Amino acid sequence: MRVLVTGGAGFIGSHLSDALIERGDEVMVVDDLSGAGREYLNPKADFVQFDIRSEDVAELIRQRRPDAISHHAAQMSVSRSVREPLFDEDVNVKGSLNLLEAARQVGARFIFASTGGALYGETGNRPTPESHRAWPVSPYGVSKLAFEHYLHCYRVEHQLSFAALRYANVYGPRQNPHGEAGVVAIFCLKLLAGQDAVINGDGLYYRDYVHVDDVVTANLMALDSEVVGHFNVGTGQEASVNEVFAALVSELKVDAHAKHGPARSGDLRAASLDSSLFQRTVGWQPQISLVKGLADTARWFQERHQNAG
């Protein structure tokens, strides 16, 4: 299979590129390197440095005619989307639509990295299924949902094949401190540097943390299937920020105590995803427990810290 991965130099995209190449697929990576350097680029991938909003990337798709596009490039910061909603819309809607129109022209299947918590918001129905109404309260969530509607439209009008994967809080090796689930990377980096890791508010904010390896498996299964629609990708389990902090302190064996700062305005108290639809449809289910995943992630950051020193 010939797969174009946007955002393939970043956290999730680089892991996915590695997995695709390992199983023998031909991989093209498009990334503007604004959120990552070249460190995680697989040398066996055909890399092109393009902005997804450019005509160049649309022309690349028309020339190379990939079988599928896995779209992970994005403006991924909720807080930035609030500060700069026009920029968020420009990247996450217009940039994505630029790719989608080119995908339509060549008949490529489209796999979209969407979001769960930012779409559903605070719900009384947890873990939250796809059937729950989506009324996002951040421009980031609005832009992700808007593009899901474009995907549906292109399915109806042009018979385009797509799957929108609504991620829970993805964490793991290579994670950067930005985006929805950046708290794991932030804690690791601060603790290893001997700096205070500040917990916003009381730390009793509960999230569904899913390991990047499980997310990669979800993407591979979506690429290999013909399922169409939007699907949650999460564990259905919730852990508090305080629990994540304590687990990382224990694994890194550092002398650190929780330091609490002001609560962030707009933070959801709790969010988790019901992924049973995706499990029934393609057979996916998470394999990595939070305990094991946090331990592996902490060790990865620790090794990087030691090598850098």
Write out pLDDT tens, residues 160-193: 999 999 999 999 999 987 655 689 999 999 999 9
Distance CA 274, CA 297 (A): 24
Whole-number pLDDT of residue 252: 96
Whether residues 68 and 111 share a domain: the answer is: yes
User: Which pair of tokens denotes residue 80?
Assistant: 């930035």
281 inside domain? no
Total tally of structural domains belonging to the chain: 2
225 inside domain? yes
Whether residues 46 and 89 share a domain: the answer is: yes
Whole-number pLDDT of residue 52: 98
Q: Just list the catalytic residues.
A: 140
Q: Work out the angle at residue 288's Cα, subtended by the Cα atoms of residues 287 and 294, and round it to the nearest 5 degrees.
A: 170
Whole-number pLDDT of residue 257: 84
Whether residues 33 and 60 share a domain: the answer is: yes
Distance CA 13, CA 72 (A): 6
195 inside domain? yes
CATH number of the CATH domain containing 159: 3.40.50.720
Whether residues 80 and 162 share a domain: the answer is: yes
Using left for φ > 0, alpha for ψ between -120 and 50, and beta otherwise, residue 201 falls in: left
Whether residues 253 and 116 share a domain: the answer is: no
Least confident of 131-140, 173-182, 293-302: 173-182
Distance CA 178, CA 150 (A): 26
Residue 89 has pLDDT above 80, yes or no: yes
The number of beta carbons lying within 10 Å of the beta carbon of residue 304 is 15
Whether residues 111 and 122 share a domain: the answer is: yes
Whole-number pLDDT of residue 181: 62
Write out pLDDT tens, residues 239-248: 999 999 999 9
Q: How far is CA 241 from the centre of its chain?
A: 19
41 inside domain? yes
Whether residues 183 and 266 share a domain: the answer is: yes
Whether residues 185 and 61 share a domain: the answer is: no
Whether residues 180 and 299 share a domain: the answer is: yes
64 inside domain? yes
253 inside domain? yes
The number of beta carbons lying within 10 Å of the beta carbon of residue 182 is 18
Domain span holding position 23: 2-170+210-233
Within 8 A by CB and 6+ apart from 80, the residues are 87, 88, 140
Report percent pLDDT > 90 for the chain: 85
Read off the pLDDT band of 133 (50, 70, 90): very high
283 inside domain? no
Whether residues 134 and 193 share a domain: the answer is: no
Residue 213 has pLDDT above 80, yes or no: yes
280 inside domain? no
Whether residues 178 and 135 share a domain: the answer is: no
CATH number of the CATH domain containing 187: 3.90.25.10
Residue 66 has pLDDT above 90, yes or no: yes
Whether residues 24 and 130 share a domain: the answer is: yes
Residue 249 has pLDDT above 80, yes or no: yes
